[in-house]
Chain A
Amino acid sequence: MNPAPTLANLLVLGVGILLAAAPHVARLPWWVSALALGALGWRAWAAWRNERMPRRWLLYALVVFGIGAVFLSYRTLFGRDAGITMLVLFLALKLLETRTQRDVIIVTFLCYFLSLTNFFYSQTIPTGILMAATVLVLTAALVGFSGPTRPVARNFRTAGMLLAQGIPVMLILFLFFPRVPGPLWGMPSDAYSGMTGLSESMSPGDISALSQSDAIAFRVKFDGAPPPKKALYWRGPVFWEFDGRSWRPGSVPNPGDPQFDPLSPPVTYSVTVEPHNRPWLFALDLPGRVPPGAQLTADFQLHARRPVRTRLRYDMSSFLEYRTAGGSAEALAAARALPSGFNPKALALAGQWARGAGSDEEIVLRAVDFFRRAGFGYTLSPPPLGHDSVDDFIFGTKRGFCEHFSSAFAYLMRAAGIPARVVTGYQGGEINPVDGYITVRQADAHAWVEVWLAGRGWTRVDPTAAAVPLRIESGLAAAVPRGEPLPFLTRPELTWLRTLRFNWEALANYWNQWVLGYNPERQRGLFNRLGMPDTTWQTMAQMLFWAVGAVTVAFALWLLRKARPRDAAHAIWLTFCAKLARRGTARGAAEGPRNFADRAALAHPRAAARIRAIASLYIDLRYGPERDHGGVARLRALVRGFRA
């Protein structure tokens, strides 16, 4: 049986538990956090005052209560959130029955596992740092439990040494472990809730809600100079169907092929999209290639096969000037459809435009002109709209966000008989001067309109740009009137903060690209650069084996070198002992030279005199006051010539 853990080591474990559980606290039901804190406090009190711990029946009751409450909270006991809640709960309760060393070691291992589950939620650099600290504290606690009398500071040093020694192996495993595309195990189905991004429909207010978010949608790196900001229309979902309030994708009959004639040379770039749990991939209007595993729809949307649940990187090229091929009659009819019984004033206005114009282009130009002159204002908190939302907006409030502008414009176009559809996506982006990446945030979400013009195909019209040119030219912050709430980091006055942020984001991006985004392609690239193209996973596994083996042997040699005696006489003595050991007389580790010589002399009577002479000389050299190098040489000669 082992002694009960000491107070100091229990405190270290307590800190470890707090560190491991802290990132989860915001996601746990409050009563779990309270219960866990209570258990921690109880255990600390018991350790401090040497009080008894709760009785067993109370623990059983708490376990039953906890399982029931978790089930009531989540309606399941499995899955990511419920599972982690159970883990925290059991960890807290286990803490209340830590009497022996075995118990605290179990708790420590549970904590290692609990801190690992943080990766289900976040894989950023701060998470990594926090987890490294957690693992250090937990390891120090573990060291402490096996040596209760050691000072805590030394435990931390030992733990740090242990972890530092693991770093080479970690690097080798990271670089050479054969990568498989996608995660090694399936995440529970509830792991992807709560991600922000564009949605499958557009109603007034959707995008302006999104525009309050600093979260990054994707990052782009152009091969060469990036195009001007006002050309950066990142295409997302396209909406065909309007029900008077919301725009939806609709079902387009006979959509045709996504064909167009490029009118300008392509721009090439790579996109790293953050997970948003929807299938869209973003590309500049219009995408000139399709990433592997994705497809291009008839209205030029890029769709991945599965919702994007991990960070995804793909190479793209786009043509900024283009002429699309002819749409089918059914598709054009769908792009003229209007719900009846809405917005009489807008219908009248569009009818008036249509009657007075000679061509579709002229109608479009008139409409754009109308948006430019009618005194529209841009706001992130638009006033609510009534039943006739377009009428209310155009003739009433006149204040809105891009979805109001695009929705109204598309409605007017359809009312005037011109096929129109709403395209959502992102506009612009911010170039990071540190690493040259363009960061596109949720706040850059945008909506615009495409109208069908004979001879030109689908043509982009951005009514927001017409009404509020600043939004496209200078970004969101310039377009919004003073005093309205803005995402914190887009505020113009915080220049130093922005510089700091640029550096931090470049670092985070580097982490994403090279650490988190170290996928099979990157690994292949590394092997190519090492001069080993076409490496199979078998070869990688072999390399892994040999590399880890080499590191282990290197460590072992280092340790052995440290353990080898520096005293020459002692080294010769050990050779002598080894010789005798081969003759069947091995020296015990705690056997002194005189005792050993006596025993060996009994075992080898013919060599007795020589054995005693060697032992006596060794004792003189090692334990005597003389420091005589001639003695060492004599000892060496004696041992070399020794045959038992």
Chain B
Amino acid sequence: MILQPVPQFDSKSVPPSSPSGHAGATPIASAALRRVVEQTSKVILGKERQIRLALACLLSRGHLLIEDLPGVGKTTLAHVLARSLGLGFHRIQFTSDMLPADIIGVSIYDRESASFKFHPGPIFSQLVLADEVNRATPKTQSALLEAMEEHQVTAEGESRRLPEPFFVIATQNPSHQVGTFPLPESQLDRFQMRLELGYPDRAAERALLQGVDRRDLIASLEPCVTPAELLALQGAVRQVHVSPALVDYVQALVEYTRRSPDFVNGLSPRAALALVACSRAWATVEGRDRVIPEDVQAVLPGVAGHRLHPVVNGVRRTSSDIAVGLVEAVPIP
């Protein structure tokens, strides 16, 4: 079946599910996705699950936060995804002396035309890698986060739209490291998903050590999807069927976090929306046209981990521990 083109993305109106009920992963689309996953897995070894999650996050039109120690491949992952998806790519290395203009761009006086000319900053790109986002000052962080939310930037009183699709993959070091400004909760909420990569396993690390230089490998990568295909895929994600029984499950999860004494706050409605959107995208990546509870469980750690704050209890619990506990605690209705 041929994909129905979905040219306009209006975040306010959810398109009705198609009457035939098979708007999900077409052979072409899933093949393209499979190629993306395969190609990325060749560079980032042993992390296929994280790659799929990252892809699902981007397909659900969300921004991604990768949090881990330096040197586990955060930047490489973002880079490879950009190449494989064929997106225009800019990398911004955040530092503590960075100003908002360094991201958005500046107007410079042009003598020939005798006027100010706007020189767009690195944010005007389809995929922006915001490296070590928690090393910048809150002012600079919020300039980036505003762009993420609005898909536009305002410079010298003029609003400029950002290209479509527009993704931000931000990486950050664990906030207990020196010289960081941790992102406040309200800004963490802007990220659809947060991933932790973790150390590679022994076999993957051995392959990495024996293999080719990663930079050469990235340079040789070819795009697997066109931007138009990517837009169509994003449209398809929104057509994935979500049955009432599944909404029951999502609500049960969300209500549990609000009732449970283990968390400071429960999940917000925005988090619930993100959970549904990511579950749809995950189902698409898995090649299904309907969301099943397993999809929700798969994306739950990434979506809920950075939004839930466990009541501190002596033992430090990681976000994936929390999510696993959450999945165990809530029966599927």
- What is A's interface to B at a CB cutoff of 8 Å? 1-3, 146-150, 565, 567, 570, 588-595, 619-620, 622-626
Contacts and interface: CB of A to CB of B under 8 A. Distances in A.
Contact of A148 (B241, B245, B261, B291): B261
B243 A592 contact: no
B294 A594 contact: yes
B245 A624 contact: no
Contacts of A148: 261
Nearest to B294: A592
A145 to B, nearest CB: 10
B333 to A, nearest CB: 8
B142 to A, nearest CB: 29
Most central of A149, A150, A593, A623 by chain B CB within 10 Å:
A623
Interface stretch (B5-13, B145-153, B324-332): B324-332
Contacts of A1: 313
Nearest to B246: A623
A5 B332 CA distance: 31
A611 to B, nearest CB: 16
Given A149-B266, A570-B245, A623-B246, A592 B293 contact: yes
B261 A2 contact: yes
Given A589-B332, A590-B297, A623-B243, 14 more contacts: A3-B261, A149-B259, A149-B266, A570-B245, A590-B327, A590-B331, A592-B332, A622-B243, A622-B245, A623-B241, A623-B245, A623-B290, A625-B21, A626-B21
Nearest to A622: B245
Interface residues of B, number: 27
Contacts of A589: 331-332
A570 B248 CA distance: 13
A590 B330 contact: yes
A625 B243 contact: yes
Interface in B277-333: 289-294, 297, 311, 313, 327-333
A149 B17 CA distance: 36
B90 interface: no
Given A3-B311, A623-B241, A625-B21, A595 B294 contact: yes
A147 B260 CA distance: 7
Contacts of B330: 590
Interface in B218-273: 241, 243, 245-246, 258-259, 261, 265-266
A620 B241 CA distance: 11
Nearest to A146: B261
A624 B261 contact: no
A590 B17 CA distance: 28
Contacts of A622: 243, 245
A564 to B, nearest CB: 12
A593 B266 contact: no
A592 B297 contact: yes
A619 B332 contact: no
Interface of B: 17, 21, 241, 243, 245-246, 258-259, 261, 265-266, 289-294, 297, 311, 313, 327-333
A622 B328 CA distance: 21
B261 A625 contact: no
Contacts of A624: 21, 241, 243, 289-290
A624 B289 CA distance: 8
11 contacts: A148-B261, A149-B259, A149-B261, A149-B266, A588-B328, A590-B328, A592-B293, A619-B292, A623-B243, A623-B246, A625-B290
Nearest to A1: B313
A593 B243 CA distance: 15
A625 B17 contact: yes
A570 B249 CA distance: 13
A562 to B, nearest CB: 13
A164 B265 CA distance: 31
Contacts of B293: 592-593, 623
A565 to B, nearest CB: 8
Contacts of B292: 592-594, 619, 623
A210 B201 CA distance: 95
Nearest to B333: A565
Nearest to B18: A625
3 cross-chain pairs, A with B, having the tightest CB-CB distances, nearest first: A589-B331, A625-B21, A592-B293
Contact of B258 (A3, A149, A565): A149
Contacts of A623: 241, 243, 245-246, 290-293
A590 B332 contact: yes
A1 B314 CA distance: 10
Contacts of A619: 290, 292
Nearest to B24: A625
Contacts of A567: 245
Nearest to B259: A147
A628 to B, nearest CB: 11
Contacts of B289: 624-625
A589 B331 CA distance: 5
B261 A147 contact: yes
Contacts of B331: 589-590
Nearest to B295: A592
Contacts of B243: 622-625
Nearest to A591: B332
A590 B327 CA distance: 6
A626 B243 CA distance: 10
A185 B329 CA distance: 47
A590 B290 contact: no
A625 B241 contact: yes
A565 B246 CA distance: 14
A150 B293 CA distance: 27
A591 B293 CA distance: 8
A586 to B, nearest CB: 13
B259 A150 contact: yes
A570 B291 CA distance: 16
A567 B249 CA distance: 14
Contacts of B313: 1
A47 to B, nearest CB: 18
A1 B328 CA distance: 21
A119 B224 CA distance: 81
B285 to A, nearest CB: 15
Nearest to B252: A590
A159 B70 CA distance: 53
Contacts of B332: 589-592
A594 B283 CA distance: 13
Contacts of A2: 261
B144 to A, nearest CB: 32
Nearest to B297: A592
A622 B248 CA distance: 12
Contacts of A146: 261
Contacts of A593: 292-294
A256 B235 CA distance: 111
A593 B295 CA distance: 11
A600 to B, nearest CB: 14
Most central of B291, B294, B330 by chain A CB within 10 Å:
B294
A593 B21 CA distance: 21
A619 B290 CA distance: 9
Most central of A149, A588, A589, A619 by chain B CB within 10 Å:
A149
B286 to A, nearest CB: 10
Contacts of B311: 3
Contacts of A565: 333
A68 B261 CA distance: 41
